[in-house]
Amino acid sequence: MSDFEKKILEMDLRKFTSRNFEKPSDCRNIDQIRFYVSELCSKIEEYELRFNYVPQWAYTLLAQYNMVHNSMLHLDFKNAYA
């Protein structure tokens, strides 16, 4: 795959995420985060299968969503058992 093709794929994925996702820090609901994580995972899997290429920033974004999700779960756990 050429650098040009990779750049096109990255731009397409960026457009998709900017249109359909909120920033991880703006999410206020665990279910919202779970939805974004599942959608992003399916998009990453699609890119792996179709193009054998996933931009590194997609994994970074997934890690950010997971970090926010884990902190929300931790807060809920503390509130439930404190």
- pLDDT greater than 90 at residue 50: yes
- Residue 82, classed as helix, strand or coil, is coil
- pTM recorded for the entire structure: 0.89
Rg of the chain on CA atoms, in Å: 15
Q: Domain coordinates of the chain in residue numbers?
A: 3-81
Supply the pLDDT for residue 42: 97
Percent of the chain predicted with pLDDT > 70: 100
DSSP 21: -
